[in-house]
Structure 1
Amino acid sequence: MIVRTLEDCENSPRRIVAQNWESTRMLLKDDNMGFSFHITTIYANTETHIWYQNHLESVYCISGEGEIETLADGKVYPIKPGTLYVLDQHDEHLLRGFSEMKMACVFNPPLSGKETHDENGVYPVDGEPL
């Protein structure tokens, strides 16, 4: 059994901080579950270009408000607490935080730990472990 607290993970190398967001990676590839689980904070008044070419992701909004715009068709979807969105087509998108958003995220394949978006908004297939 694996038991971790968000607080313990936030005070460890599992907390990754980027310009527009931070992600606490509570479950990673080396946990051998076949997916990774993260609590991500999207900072207020930000826009982040993301294109997970190598991963599928589902995201559940816990708190805050924003929107996601899919670049292939220009559709904009509001995000508020209780919203789930699933990037099941490796959707290239813009994620906008109007207020600080707390999100629960699941990645398949799982992240290794230290991944951040490259210049195209992509995470590598197998990033550097913690």
Structure 2
Amino acid sequence: MIVRQLQECEQSDRSVKSKTWQSVRMLLADDNMGFSFHITTIFADTETHMHYKNHLESVYCISGKGEIKDLATGQTHQITPGTLYVLDKHDKHILYAFEELSLACVFNPPVTGREVHDADGAYPASS
């Protein structure tokens, strides 16, 4: 059994921060669950360009307000508490945070822990 507290993870190397977000990786590849689980904060008044070419991601909005834009279709979707979005086709997108967003995220395959977005907005392929 694995039991972790968010506050403990926030104070460890499981917390990774960029200019627009902070991701607390509570479950990682070396936990051998087949996915990773993150609590991610997207900072208010930011936009983050992402394209997870090597991962699938499911995101549940806990709090805050934003919008996601699918760059293939141009469609936008409002993100508010209770919204789930799934990047099931390695969707290239922009996430706009109108307020600070708190998100619960699941990645498959799992990340190892220190990944940040590359120039394309992707995490590197798992090894």
One fold, TM greater than 0.5?
yes
- The residue correspondences of 1:1-130 to structure 2 (distance < 5 A) are 1-126=1-126
Letter in 2 for 1:109: P
Q: CA RMSD in A?
A: 0.7
- In 1, the alpha carbon distance for the partners of 2:117 and 2:95 equals 13
Identity of aligned residues (%): 63
Count of aligned positions: 127
Structure 1 runs of 4+ aligned residues shifted over 6 Å read: none
The whole-number CA distance in structure 1 between the counterparts of 2:119 and 2:19 is 13
Kindly provide the CA deviation profile for residues 53-84 of structure 1, in whole angstroms up to 9, marking residues without a partner as x: 00000000000000000000100000000000
For residue 18 of structure 1, what is the amino acid of its counterpart?
Answer: S
- Segments of 5+ residues of structure 2 without an aligned counterpart are none
Give the distance between the partners of 1:115 and 1:29, measured in 2 at CA.
12
AA in 2 matched with 1:41: T
Paired residue secondary structure (2:60): strand
Measure how far apart 1:126 and its partner are. Answer: 2.3
CA distance in 1, matches of 2:38, 2:122: 17
Q: Using structure 1 for the length normalisation, give the TM-score.
A: 0.97
Which residues of structure 1 form unaligned runs of 5+?
none
Residue 103 of structure 1 aligns to a residue in which SS? strand
SS of 2:96's equivalent in the other structure is strand
Instruction: Give 3-state SS (helix, strand or coil) of 2:2's partner.
Output: coil
